[in-house]
Chains A and B, each alone.
Chain A
Amino acid sequence: DAGITQSPRHKVTETGTPVTLRCHQTENHRYMYWYRQDPGHGLRLIHYSYGVKDTDKGEVSDGYSVSRSKTEDFLLTLESATSSQTSVYFCAISESTVTNSPLHFGNGTRLTVT
C-alpha cells in the first residue's frame, strides 16, 4: 500500500456537529484528493489540493472545506454535519496529473451522521 493513513477509520457523530477527517501521506506526492463513496454513485470528488495551501473544489464540495498546511497532511472538515454526509470518505494521492501517475487511495473513513 502507498503510505496513506486516514484517521479516524470510523466515526459516529450527531447532526450539526463539526467533524474533521485527516489524511496523512509519506510519499511526498504533490496532489491530494478527498472522495466520497456512496452506493449507486461510485466515487465523487469533494476537494483536491495541488500543493501546500492550494486547493480547489470538486463535484460535490458543498458543506465541506479543506486545508493543507503541510505537504503530507490534507484535512477535510464538515462544519456542521448532516445526515446526507453519511458516507465512506477516501483520501487519494498522486505525483502528478498525467496518466503515468495513477491515484493511490487510503483505506477510507466510514462516517455516520445520526
Chain B
Amino acid sequence: QQQVKQSPQSLIVQKGGISIINCAYENTAFDYFPWYQQFPGKGPALLIAIRPDVSEKKEGRFTISFNKSAKQFSLHIMDSQPGDSATYFCAASPAYNTDKLIFGTGTRLQVFP
C-alpha cells in the first residue's frame, strides 16, 4: 500500500514530441504528488507538484494531470527538448508529512533532435 508505481522505465521521444510518464498509488492518505527531475551526476530537483484539489497543474511545458478516483497521476512534457533528457521521479506523501515521501522507480527520458 506504500508503493508508488511508475511507468515506463525508459522513454525515447523526438524533439518537439510529447513525453508522458505515469504513476499510480494505493494509499488514500497520500495527497501531495511532486515530480523530481534528475540530470546525470546531480541530485534530484523538484520540477512541479500537485495537490488533489485540482485535476491539472501546468508550469510552462510541464503539466501534471491527476485522477483521484483512479489514484493515478501523470507528467506531460510538451514540445520535448534535448535539454529535457533526464531521469524523472514521481513521488507521493501525506501533505503534512513530506518526511514520509515515497518515490517511484524513475523514468529515463531521452529526447533526440
The residues of A with any CB-CB pair to B shorter than 8 Å are 4, 31, 33, 40-45, 48, 50, 90, 92, 94, 97-99, 101-108
Contacts and interface: CB of A to CB of B under 8 A. Distances in A.
B105 A105 contact: no
Contacts of A101: 98
B95 A42 contact: no
B99 A99 contact: no
Interface residues of B, number: 24
B99 A48 contact: yes
B96 A97 contact: yes
B43 A42 contact: no
B110 interface: no
Interface stretch (B12-20, B45-53, B63-71): B45-53
Contacts of B32: 99
Contacts of B96: 97-99
B49 A107 contact: no
B93 to A, nearest CB: 9
